[in-house]
Amino acid sequence: MSATAQTTTEARTMNGAEIVLQALKDNGVEVIFGYPGGAVLPLYDALFQQNAIRHILVRHEQAAVHAAEGYARSTGKVGVVLVTSGPGATNAVTGLVDALMDSIPVICLTGQVPTHLIGNDAFQEADTTGITRPATKHNYLVKDINKLAGVVHEAFYVAKSGRPGPVVIDLPKDILIGKGPYTEAPQTEHRSYRPVTEPDPAQIQAAVQLLKRAKRPIVYAGGGVINAGPEASRLLTEFVRMAGMPCTNTLMGLGAYPSSDPQFLGMLGMHGTYEANLAMHGCDVMLNIGARFDDRVTGRLNAFSPASKKIHADIDPSSINKNVKVDVAVVGDAARVLAALLEAWKADDAVQDRAAIAEWWRQIDAWRGTDCLQYRQEGSIIKPQHAVRRLYEITRELGRETFITTEVGQHQMWAAQYFGFEKPNRWMTSGGLGTMGYGLPAAMGVQIGHPDALVIDIAGEASILMNIQEMGTLAQYRLPVKVFILNNEYMGMVRQWQELLHGSRYSESYSASLPDFVKLAESFHAHGIRVTHADQLDAGIREMLAHPGPVIADIAVAKDENCFPMIPSGAAHNEMILAAGQQGGVAGVTDEGKVLV
């Protein structure tokens, strides 16, 4: 660990809490999301006595972490959380795992009982480093105040470098109160942790060799491109356009490539488009950049893109050859990899087989002709797809900078399918862990990072109740977040699986005893809107967007709508179910498939 005390010329002495705040400031922190308690009172006292760092008081520690995630994903900065010992720390665990799965840089400061009481089952003691070891990229328990500043600096480096992730710093109360030296961030390399960002030129050459000779190429780009910063998305777009290839994004990668571009095939995977999945299935060369061959994307592994040569560029070597064996492995930062690919491509004399690629596009256009996302909005019952589509179109008309977060379920997939993103960092969703209750606090964090932007949580009526207490935070800080509920009165995603896989036995998936969301909004000092007829939808959306403060818009949508296309668990890309009435592959779900989540 490089977190040893540095001998600087002017080591200032402060108490532990002040050291922590100074280190946060020196790492560019402007805001932290937190909730107080006995073990962190010294930190709250130090916060009270300064103005550089703003504290946002959430209503539940899980929400603090999601807010930090939303802040981090939308700004590119590290999100910071402060919670107390015991229940404060355990409440934060879901958020930490969420950030771990989605590679979001977050630092979570947890209070701890004083060092001499650790292990004694003291009041509000929990083995926080033990509990969060598999929930974080790394964690620290600070037992020596001389190391405190160094640990905080190191935590920032670990959280944001390489594959980003959450880091916990557990802070015993005596360390926060005791006095020690403040040291600046070390200029030296870390002793053991040195992620590779610069790609190996030989691997880049090998990749270009394959890509230039491809007859049916595809670029499959994921969240890693977003992690690498906006420049990576720009380079991705430049590369794809130059090479004339089709491009698809994962759920986490939406916005990495402009959705309105004709070369964009939409999202791939379980609820991806027909054309994206069939192109993945039929390609001869695949470039995966910053995506991790997740099971939601590959479907049945032994049937995944059987005829292709695969190139995988990822900053984390453990992502490569984990699920899918690849032919060319490139370890590096997505932006660096794309810059190197562009350069090597231009330097390479080989010419592409334009005729073959034109033929490939004809095939893709035929698949596109299926129009797999079509739906018919008829009568007064609002189709959820239509609600999202109109929300998208109306926000585009307004031209305001728009950020979307989601909860988890069908509404999340419809948001991914029907809301288009032209730029990275505008789309915040819980992909890897799939945490219901993510969207509202994440939107809060986004709004803190972008006070003037339009921030909308596309929600389900079940998910929204999982962190509904955060309406209080919106009110307190006057955060004008819009909660757009697609209310189908079901845990729709669960209901859909029950319909398709469990003989329509809707076991415990009905959203009974729902609150009156309009009154609920009002009781939290927000504006409430309810829309029940298709012809009121646009007016409802416009009213929501025009309102200056926080809004809950409760949109009553069709109760029995399913989310299609769908590749059932355990099926292959070419075994996709299209919407009722459309031609698609076989819908055979094997028993083996049923075991899968």
Partner 1 sequence: MPDASDPTFRNATIAVLVENEAGILARVVGLFSGRGYNIESLTVAPVDAERRLSRITIVTSGTDMVIEQIKAQLDRLVPVHKVSDLTVEGPHLAREMMLIKVVGRGEQRMEALRLADAFRARVVDATTGSFVFEMTGAGDKLDAFIELMRPIGLAEVSRTGVVAIARGARSLQS
Ligand X SMILES: Cc1ncc(C[n+]2csc(CCOP(=O)(O)OP(=O)(O)O)c2C)c(N)n1
CB of 496 to ligand X, least distance (A): 7
Question: Which 409-468 positions form the footprint of ligand FAD (CB under 6 A)?
Answer: 412-413, 431-432, 434
Residue 348 backbone dihedrals phi, psi, to 5 degrees: -85, 135
124 is catalytic: yes
What DSSP line would sit under 431-454, residue for residue? -SS--TT-HHHHHHHHHHH-TTSE
Largest separation between any pair of C-alpha atoms in the chain: 75
CA-closest candidate to residue 222, choices 304, 328, 101: 101
**From 25, 123, 343, 374, the catalytic residue:** 123
36: contact with ligand FAD by CB under 6 A: no
Bond preceding residue 565 cis, omega within 30 of 0: yes
Q: Which of 125, 333, 407, 561 binds ligand FAD (CB under 6 A)?
A: 333
Q: Please report the beta strands in 258-410, taking only residues with DSSP state E, as ranges in sequence order.
A: 264-267, 285-289, 309-314, 328-331, 402-406
Q: Choose, from 270, 493, 544, 576, the residue flagged as catalytic.
A: 493
Using N-to-C axis directions, what is the helix angle for 492-501 and 410-418, rounded to 10°? Answer: 100
Residue 462 C-beta: closest distance to Mg ion, Å: 5
Does residue 126 interact with partner 1 by CB under 8 A? no
Kindly write out the interface string for residues 150-189 of this chain, putting x where it contacts ligand FAD by CB under 6 A and - elsewhere. Answer: -------------x--------------------------
- What residues contact 493, with CB distance under 8 A and at least 6 apart? 408, 409, 410, 413, 563
Give the x/- contact pattern for partner 1 in 139-158, rule: CB under 8 A: --x----------------x
Measure the CA–CA gap between 210 and 231, rounded to whole angstroms: 24
Element (H, E) at 111: strand 106-112
Helical pair 87-101 and 61-75, crossing angle rounded to 10 deg: 30
Pick the stretch among 46-54, 172-180, 408-416, 476-484 that binds ligand X (CB under 6 A).
408-416
Does 463 contact ligand X by CB under 6 A? yes
Least Å from the CB of residue 35 to ligand X: 20
From 173, 212, 309, 310, the catalytic residue: 173
For 402, which DSSP code?
E
In the complex with ligand X, which residue's Cβ is closer, 211 or 436? 436
Range 436-465, binding Mg ion (CB under 5 A): 460-461
Q: Which CB, 70 or 409, lies closer to ligand X?
A: 409
Give the strand pairing for 328-331 and 264-267: unpaired
User: Any catalytic annotation for residue 123?
Assistant: yes
DSSP designation for 10: T
163 binds, among Mg ion, ligand X, ligand FAD, none (CB under 5 to 8 A by kind): ligand FAD
> Which CB sits closer to ligand FAD, 413 or 481?
413
Size of the site for ligand FAD (CB under 6 A): 37
- List the catalytic residues: 61, 123-124, 173, 493
Residues engaged in binding partner 1 (CB under 8 A) = 1, 129-130, 133-134, 137-138, 141, 158, 162-163, 191-193, 316-318, 320-322, 325
